[in-house]
Structure 1
């Protein structure tokens, strides 16, 4: 913006200087003042070519120059042998018209130059017009896909589903000759981070066809009609380069169910998308792949036959798939790790989280100048990847003591009840043992006791607890309510009033009573946390051996 303003100022200044120079050259009087004796000499020598009377002067044109002499100095008889031309109108009018023409030409040249350099920025166009021009002039080009199925671990069932799509894109005539029709649209459904975009790219790379990527949110413009236009341009580009793949990420941003009460830009864009998919011919060679994690909010018209015919659910990876994914990311990382141990500690991780876990562990190993990535590095960065790391520097000594006691109480109960966890870190108050549904009543009660264990431990030691119990207490209340309302685990099949409160109070007293027996171990666990800011499950087991 600053460069544009500077260029405009330079252009205007240059034009003004040129106009001044031209006007000076044209308007200035170049004639020489002549005396009466000089005029008589010119007449005698017959050197006068032309005489013009204008503005109180005789202008005498000779081969050697132009001279002027005042009318009052010359008698009429002296010039009677010459045809004197009288200039009745001022010549300045002609000069002014000339200057205006020059000014207009310079203005036009300047405007043309600004159009070429700044896309009509030199014109006083409204901002919205500039935006529309920029948006509409975008050229849609395919994205180079360098991802193959070999780069994606696990998802064997998804790969099998998509293999037919790849074969169709490679050899559509084979399917056509057999009378088979491939789906026009494939909808990938799954939680964030499971690799839906990578899967679509892998399909394009395996089939060797152009890959057109577009986020659905980019279709929804604030200018009427622009979203629909971009949809049309996207499909036109894909058809012109068929066979090809169109991938629409987060399609729920534009494909939400229509309520029929309004007609906004989003609905116009959705209508255009539906129209384009209806316009596909079986031989077009274009397949639309879309991704969403909210299939329940999509408009029914998108999901009907002839549009997104095939739905593929991409779930969180199983242990076998996690192992394959981790091996893929570890292939370029120096290590001598037991991958099964990483698999066990990464329950609930998606593909993106596993990639981040391996990367963060490798970065930590580099920071510590290690030759290989070790298991300790994975334990150290796990919470950072899963929950985000909290800075301990903002905690006072008293706050750190409360947190250490809080974590010691939860960790001791989790170990005593045999709930799975790997490590406890002072940088995170979260201890989330794996919950495998369905659970029996005693397992649910054990989880609730662990959630209440931190509060109980602080109450035993400090006779008070801190506000950090909020999240754990909220989760404990939820689980107790589900026990009596959903699972029929109260005094009767149908829950009675405040029965969940009674369960919580009872379980809290049980947790407090159990932790009172663990006091020596709690002190030891707390000391390790204060000193090293972390403690493993095995270390907790050693400290609790005498109290269990």
Structure 2
């Protein structure tokens, strides 16, 4: 049996524009019929009218007194004449209507009437002279109400636009200004990101996966008396994958997912932020279980000020107060989990951070060498490579890189390969991409004098030599005297990824950093401005050792660091003037000690320093192999991959023991 086709053609939807169209057609039609009656009426003049009267052609003259216009009707005999052939044709008009053949405008009514009467007597005419007044009732009514129609029409149009009927986003309409601007994630149409697309971040990923599981299978947890967490805060440096984790939650969760930014609550109108918070949670409650994701929550979640003289923060604080109430207050929404992300957790309000609002704080840290390898695997999927890349090597070459940085490296490598007209991306393209991101664009055409080039070569060779001689200095990868970005030369190192740092390690790094200026002093007995970035780096390190980490004997076990960030803009220092002088003196002593240490090292290895600088002048770029030929094998080298494998093995052993 055939299935009946119940689908019927869609009927046209009624629209108010049909009414406007019908009215316009009626007006045009009325105007057409009104004008067609006069379509064959011809304009004439007073002198021509006198001639028509003289010839006896005029049967009637109708004088319209209120418009100073005269309508001339001809006799049947006159209509047969060739002179009046143009006006003799019967016009298309309303049946039975009497139509004049000529019309003329006159000036002074009295003179016009006297001229006609004089001609009538002189030529013995039986022409009828009549008087009338004309009024266009419809036209007068239309003219009187047209301004009101226009005003009402414009008002209706504006109201429809403001209320959302005329298009545009809810935030841009005056009546929807208090509505939430959150975007509801649609898994059918939006690009779906899964947890498989999130590499590394095992701990953070495990926590957010559990949040998704809460909403999918709440009975598993509530049956034991547990409660579903109210919120989770993703905290970490920029580019580590906080928003990507939220996208993965949106893709994996089979529940409505509302996404918006903290700045979406802020508006120039008073009370809008709180209204949008209420509307957001109302929508989420109606669709519960649901997830709300607020990116960059520090835009509204900053700590509330105690002494607010200007009143500039009142609106933001009202928004925050409403958010606090919605997350944990009377009438709290159930089965609505709030995810938020920020890289400024130190400035958030304490009431927002407490348990019951954000029950969990998930720290998303920079990836280690193993996690960077996994991130490379994800971002290399769409890239066409010419060879099987050593991902361990790439992971080692990118210490301190975030997930976003690694994605940028992969993209930059593909662009570099395309720029060189290659068919696939090679290992060298990735190395060039890392150099491009870390050091900047090469400037081979920069004009440098031979004397300046020699100084730069010895400066960079000094860095390489000192770092090679010290145990805790980062091992060298590459040295170049090709200008990049704002630097005239650069040395690339492969720093050891440490969780804690000891004073001797920091001092070795400072000594290696000062090796460039020390080399200039040893070779030329002069120093230059080229060590600015080096001096800036060692000054920060020395100040941190003295004032933050408590690694100075004179200052002792004290720190002047405020981790909460509340006193970062204070007007007073947390120490006395005498202590300030001691701090300055200890910082200076620490730096000068490492400077003299670098000079001594270079004095003892002056011949090797000269050989390295000459090779650098010759080749412009030298690598670790070149240093090994000059200095021999570095005794302090460690295999980072082996150490990472050992750390992984230790971790697995601990986990198995816990089980």
TM-score range, shorter chain: 0.7 to 0.9
Q: Does 1:396 align with 2:458?
A: no
Return 417-426 or 72-81, whichever deviates more: 72-81
TM-superposed deviation, 1:266: 1.8
Structure 1: runs of 5 or more not aligned? 1-17, 121-128
Q: Which residue of 2 aligns with 1:502?
A: 589
Task: Tell me if structure 2 keeps the 8 A contact 1:460–1:516.
Answer: yes
Q: Does 1:292 align with 2:346?
A: no
Q: Does 1:540 align with 2:627?
A: yes
TM-superposed deviation, 1:118: 9.1
Count of residues paired in the alignment: 514
Mapped partners of 2:274, 2:216: distance in 1: 30
Q: Against the structure 1 CA distance between its residues 39 and 327, is the aligned structure 2 distance closer, same or farther, given a 3 Å change threshold?
A: same
Q: Does 1:407 align with 2:457?
A: no
Task: Tell me if structure 2 keeps the 8 A contact 1:379–1:423.
Answer: no
Q: Which residue of 1 aligns with 2:513?
A: 451
Q: Against the structure 1 CA distance between its residues 188 and 281, is the aligned structure 2 distance closer, same or farther, given a 3 Å change threshold?
A: farther
TM-superposed deviation, 1:148: 1.0
Once the two structures are superposed, what CA deviation does each residue of 1:396-436 show, in whole Å capped at 9, x if it has no partner?
23444332221110011111214323222333536564473
Matches within 5 A, 1:89-128: 100-101=143-144, 104=147, 111=154
Once the two structures are superposed, what CA deviation does each residue of 1:68-95 show, in whole Å capped at 9, x if it has no partner?
89421328999999895565xxx69999
Once the two structures are superposed, what CA deviation does each residue of 1:145-168 show, in whole Å capped at 9, x if it has no partner?
521111111222222212221112
Mapped partners of 2:125, 2:180: distance in 1: 75
Task: Tell me if structure 2 keeps the 8 A contact 1:518–1:544.
Answer: no
Matches within 5 A, 1:55-454: 63=98, 65=100, 70-72=112-114, 73-74=116-117, 85=131, 87=133, 100-101=143-144, 104=147, 111=154, 140-143=182-185, 144-172=190-218, 175=221, 179-260=225-306, 261=308, 262=311, 263-278=313-328, 284-333=334-383, 334=385, 335-368=387-420, 373-386=425-438, 388-389=440-441, 391-397=443-449, 398-418=451-471, 419=473, 420-426=475-481, 427=484, 429=490, 431=492, 433-434=495-496, 436=498, 438-454=500-516
Matches within 5 A, 1:475-486: 475-481=537-543, 486=549
Mapped partners of 1:38, 1:344: distance in 2: 113
Mapped partners of 1:340, 1:56: distance in 2: 101
Matched position secondary structure for 1:74:
helix
Return 220-229 or 414-423, whichever deviates more: 220-229
Return 299-308 or 372-381, whichever deviates more: 372-381
Mapped partners of 2:210, 2:172: distance in 1: 45
Matched position secondary structure for 2:184:
coil
TM-superposed deviation, 1:369: 5.1
Q: Against the structure 1 CA distance between its residues 451 and 490, is the aligned structure 2 distance closer, same or farther, given a 3 Å change threshold?
A: farther
TM-superposed deviation, 1:450: 0.7
Matched position secondary structure for 2:229:
coil
Mapped partners of 2:73, 2:177: distance in 1: 64
Q: Against the structure 1 CA distance between its residues 55 and 482, is the aligned structure 2 distance closer, same or farther, given a 3 Å change threshold?
A: closer
Return 454-463 or 75-84, whichever deviates more: 75-84
Q: Which residue of 1 aligns with 2:536?
A: 474
TM-superposed deviation, 1:102: 8.6
Matched position secondary structure for 1:65:
coil
Q: Which residue of 1 aligns with 2:20?
A: none
Task: Tell me if structure 2 keeps the 8 A contact 1:425–1:529.
Answer: yes
Return 446-455 or 502-511, whichever deviates more: 502-511
Q: Does 1:514 align with 2:601?
A: yes
Q: Against the structure 1 CA distance between its residues 40 and 315, is the aligned structure 2 distance closer, same or farther, given a 3 Å change threshold?
A: same
TM-superposed deviation, 1:251: 0.7
Mapped partners of 1:391, 1:274: distance in 2: 53
Return 487-496 or 394-403, whichever deviates more: 487-496
Mapped partners of 2:179, 2:633: distance in 1: 75
Matched position secondary structure for 2:183:
coil
TM-superposed deviation, 1:286: 2.9
Matched position secondary structure for 1:422:
strand
Q: Against the structure 1 CA distance between its residues 535 and 38, is the aligned structure 2 distance closer, same or farther, given a 3 Å change threshold?
A: same
Q: Which residue of 1 aligns with 2:93?
A: none
Mapped partners of 2:554, 2:458: distance in 1: 34
Once the two structures are superposed, what CA deviation does each residue of 1:196-231 show, in whole Å capped at 9, x if it has no partner?
001011112111334332121232223333333443
Structure 2: runs of 5 or more not aligned? 1-27, 75-97, 107-111, 164-170, 558-578, 636-659
TM-superposed deviation, 1:299: 1.0
Q: Against the structure 1 CA distance between its residues 533 and 272, is the aligned structure 2 distance closer, same or farther, given a 3 Å change threshold?
A: farther
Task: Tell me if structure 1 keeps the 8 A contact 2:464–2:491.
Answer: no
Return 457-466 or 198-207, whichever deviates more: 457-466
Q: Against the structure 1 CA distance between its residues 79 and 309, is the aligned structure 2 distance closer, same or farther, given a 3 Å change threshold?
A: farther
Task: Tell me if structure 2 keeps the 8 A contact 1:425–1:535.
Answer: yes
Matched position secondary structure for 2:207:
helix
